[in-house]
C-alpha cells in the first residue's frame, strides 16, 4: 500500500514540476527533494519526542522538580 502511494506521489509531483516548466532532470529530482525534506522533518520530530520522553521518565523516576542541573536533556523549554 505504501509503495503504491509513494509511486503515485512521485509521478504526480514529477508531472506537476514538468507542467511548471522544469526540465526532465529537475522534474525527476523534485519529488525526491520534497520527500527527503519530509523524511528529515519527521525523523527530527521523532528524535525530539523520544528525547523528551526520556527526560520525562528520568524526572519521574528521580522525582526531581527542577531538573536543569541533574538531567542533561533539559532545554529550558
The count of structural domains within the chain is 1
Is 38 part of a structural domain of the chain? yes
- The packing angle between helices 2-19 and 24-62, to 10°, is 130
The gap from C-alpha 32 to its chain's centroid, in whole angstroms, comes to 14
Is 68 part of a structural domain of the chain? no
Is 27 part of a structural domain of the chain? yes
Q: What is the pLDDT of residues 21-76, one digit of tens each?
A: 999 999 999 998 888 888 888 888 777 777 667 766 766 666 555 545 444 555 55
What is residue 39's predicted lDDT score, i.e. its pLDDT? 83
pTM of the complete model: 0.52
Contacts (Cβ under 8 Å, ≥6 apart) of 28: 14
Is 37 part of a structural domain of the chain? yes
Domain encompassing residue 15? 2-48
Is 33 part of a structural domain of the chain? yes
Amino acid at each position: 500500500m505504501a509503495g503504491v502511494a509513494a509511486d503515485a506521489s512521485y509521478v504526480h509531483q514529477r508531472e506537476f514540476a514538468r507542467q511548471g516548466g522544469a526540465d526532465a532532470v529537475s522534474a525527476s529530482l523534485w519529488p525526491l527533494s520534497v520527500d527527503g525534506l519530509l523524511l528529515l522533518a519527521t525523523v527530527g520530530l521523532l528524535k525530539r519526542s523520544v528525547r523528551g520522553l526520556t527526560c520525562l521518565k528520568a524526572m519521574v523516576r528521580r522525582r526531581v522538580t527542577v531538573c536543569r542541573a541533574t538531567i542533561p536533556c533539559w532545554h529550558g523549554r
